[in-house]
A and B are shown apart, each in its own frame.
Chain A
Amino acid sequence: MSIHAQGMRAWLLQRLSGAYIAVYLVLALFIIGTGPRLDYVRWHELLSQPPVSIATLLFFLFLLIHAWVGIRDVLLDYIQLQALRFSILMVLALGLLTMGIWVSMILFSVVQL
């Protein structure tokens, strides 16, 4: 039962994160595309606004979760050797976690509260 529940959670998380990523990207393209030419000043000013940096932080967190579920699915399909599979999943998890901390630090250093 718990295995089923976990699979269901991953399935749902994959869809929800995918939907958020899609909406964020469309909005981001719209905002960047409709304003004046994107230079450093506008870019920095845009990401220093809390709503934008929070939405962007959520984008990256959802992106990393989306990548975790997706790449995990691919690895489970192609890597049958349990020890190797586990090792690669560990490296993947550590890598994604590192990227999550990294991008949080970048965004926290820009946001003007």
Chain B
Amino acid sequence: MLTKSRRPKYLNLIKINLPITGIASILHRISGVLLFLSIPFLIYALSLSLRSPESFAQVQAFFDNMLIRALGLMLVYALAHHFFAGIRFLLLDLDIGLDLKTARASALAAILAGLTIFVLVVIGILL
């Protein structure tokens, strides 16, 4: 089924010039995979949090660990980007913002919105 292509492979990632829409798209994919990997941990945390006041406190105590906190923050960013880029894709599916100029602007807006949420959460934790 897959025919061998004779096209040269050129995967110098530094030299590939990914347009802003492509960046929003690949980040949507990477964040989606990360969020998927977090699901079992999320369910486990839900189970512990509902079992008893002690295990509820245990879930909170997980985040005293800096590594867990950093992973949590990474997931916050993944969720924020996936959320905004996902809404953008939904709008594109409804034929909203399909022209190149709008599509580029909305890609940038989705990326910035995700970063903004991330920065706000980091500030919220530090304060």
Cβ A40 vs Cβ B56 within 8 A: yes
A98 to chain B, nearest CB (A): 9
- Given the complex, which residues of B lie within 8 Å of A63, measured CB to CB? 39
A110 to chain B, nearest CB (A): 5
Q: How large is the interface on B (under 10, 10 to 19, 20 to 34, 35 or more residues)?
A: 20 to 34
Cβ B50 vs Cβ A110 within 8 A: yes
A39 to B2 CA separation, bound complex (whole angstroms): 56
Contact bitstring A59-84, B, C-beta under 8 A = 1, else 0: 01001100100110010000010000
Stretch at the interface among B14-22, B29-37, B62-70, B105-113: B29-37
With most chain A CB atoms within 10 A of its CB, the pick from B46, B52, B87, B90 is B46
- Given the complex, which residues of B lie within 8 Å of A71, measured CB to CB? 32-33, 36
B2 — nearest CB in chain A belongs to which residue? Answer: A80
B95 located at the interface, meaning its Cβ lies under 8 Å from any Cβ of chain A in the complex: no
A44 to B56 CA separation, bound complex (whole angstroms): 10
Given A40-B56, A106-B46, do A64 and B86 touch, yes or no (CB 8 Å)? Answer: no
Given A43-B49, A80-B2, do A25 and B83 touch, yes or no (CB 8 Å)? Answer: yes
Given A67-B39, A102-B43, A106-B43, do A47 and B90 touch, yes or no (CB 8 Å)? Answer: no
Task: Name A22's contact: one of B32, B56, B83, B93 (CB within 8 Å).
Answer: B83
B8 located at the interface, meaning its Cβ lies under 8 Å from any Cβ of chain A in the complex: no
- Given the complex, which residues of A lie within 8 Å of B35, measured CB to CB? 67
Contact bitstring A37-50, B, C-beta under 8 A = 1, else 0: 00111011001000
Given A67-B36, A71-B36, do A43 and B50 touch, yes or no (CB 8 Å)? Answer: yes
A32 to B88 CA separation, bound complex (whole angstroms): 26
Cβ A47 vs Cβ B50 within 8 A: yes
Contact bitstring A72-106, B, C-beta under 8 A = 1, else 0: 00100000100000000000000100010011001
B102 located at the interface, meaning its Cβ lies under 8 Å from any Cβ of chain A in the complex: no
A47 to B46 CA separation, bound complex (whole angstroms): 10
A71 to B79 CA separation, bound complex (whole angstroms): 16
Which residues from chain B sit less than 8 Å from chain A, CB to CB?
2, 29, 32-33, 35-36, 39-40, 43, 46-47, 49-50, 52-53, 56-57, 79, 83, 86-87, 90, 93
